[in-house]
Structure 1
Amino acid sequence: MVTLERPSRLVLWDVDKTLIDIGPVSDEIYREVFESVMGRPLVHVVTRAGRTDPEIAVDTLTRHGIADPGSYLDRVAETLTDAVRTRAAVIRRRGRALPGAEAALEAVAKVPGVVQSVLTGNVRDNAVAKLAMFGLDRYVDFSVGAYGSDNPVRAKLVDIARARATAKYGAVFDDTTTVLGDSPNDIAAARTGGAGIVAIATGLFGTAELEAAMQPAPPGANGVVLTDLTDTAAILRAVLGDTGPVSDRVGP
Structure 2
Amino acid sequence: MADRFASRPLLVLWDIDGTLIDNGGVSKEAYALTFTRLTGRPLQRPVTTDGKTDPAVLRSMLRQHGIEATPALLDRAVQTMAAVFESLVPRLRERGHTEPGAPAAIAALGRQGNVVQSVLTGNTVHNARVKTSVFGLDGGLDYEVGAYGSDSEVRTDLVRVARTKAAAKYGIRFEPDTTVLIGDTPRDIEAGLGGGAYVVGVATGEYDVESLTAKGANVVLPNLRDADAVVRAVLGARRDQPDA
Render the CA deviation track for 1:61-84: whole Å, top value 9, x for unaligned.
222222245442211111111111
Q: Please tell me whether the aligned partners of residues 21 and 96 of structure 1 are also in contact (alpha carbons under 8 angstroms).
A: yes
| 1:98 to partner: Cα distance | 0.9
2:16 maps to a residue whose letter is V
Q: CA distance change for structure 1 residues 234 and 79 in 2, over 3 Å: closer, same or farther?
A: same
Q: Distance in 2 between matches of 1:143 and 1:5?
A: 18
1:19 corresponds in structure 2 to: 20
Name the counterpart of 1:237. 232
Give the Cα–Cα distance (whole angstroms) in 1 for the partners of residues 52 and 220 of structure 2.
20
1:19-38 map, 5 Å: 19-38=20-39
Alpha-carbon separation, structure 1, partners of 2:142 and 2:4 = 11
Q: How much has 1:210 moved relative to structure 2? A: 1.6
Is 1:79 the equivalent of 2:74? no
Find the counterpart in structure 2 of residue 199 from structure 1.
Answer: 201
Q: Tell me the residue number matched to 1:182.
A: 184
| Local SS of the residue matching 2:182 | strand
Q: How far off its partner does 1:164 sit?
A: 0.6
- One-letter amino acid matched to 1:213: K
Aligned to 1:44: 45
Question: Equivalent pairs: percent with the same residue?
Answer: 45
Q: How does 1:1-252 map to 2 (within 5 A)?
A: 4-6=4-6, 8-175=9-176, 176-214=178-216, 223-241=218-236
How far is the alpha carbon of 1:55 from its aligned partner?
A: 1.3
Write the letter of the residue equivalent to 1:190: G
* Cα contact 1:4–1:115 (8 A) shared by 2: no
Stretches of 4+ aligned residues off by more than 4 angstroms: none
Q: Supply the distance in 1 between the matched residues of 2:113 and 2:192 (Cα, whole angstroms).
A: 23
Q: Which deviates the most, 159-168 or 21-30?
A: 21-30
SS in 2 for 1:120: coil
The C-alpha deviation readout for 1:30-59, integer Å capped at 9, x for no partner, is 110111112211122243242211111122
RMSD: 2.0
CA offsets 1:208-247 (integer angstroms, 9 cap, x no match) = 2222222xxxxxxx61111111011111111110799xxx
- Per the alignment, in what secondary structure is the counterpart of residue 105 of structure 1? helix
Unaligned runs of 5+ in 1: 215-221
TM-score, normalised to structure 2, is: 0.90
Unaligned runs of 5+ in 2: none
Q: Structure 1 stretch 22-31 or stretch 140-149: which is displaced more? A: 22-31
Q: How far, CA to CA, are the matches of 2:46 and 2:111 in structure 1?
A: 41
Aligned residue type for 1:228: N
Distance 1:47 1:227, change over 3 A: farther
Contact 1:61–1:69 (8 Å) recurs in 2: no
Change (3 A) 1:51 1:4: farther
Name 1:219's counterpart in structure 2: none
User: Shift in Å at residue 118 of structure 1?
Assistant: 0.4
In the comparison of the two structures, how many residue pairs are matched? 236
SS where residue 172 of structure 1 aligns? coil
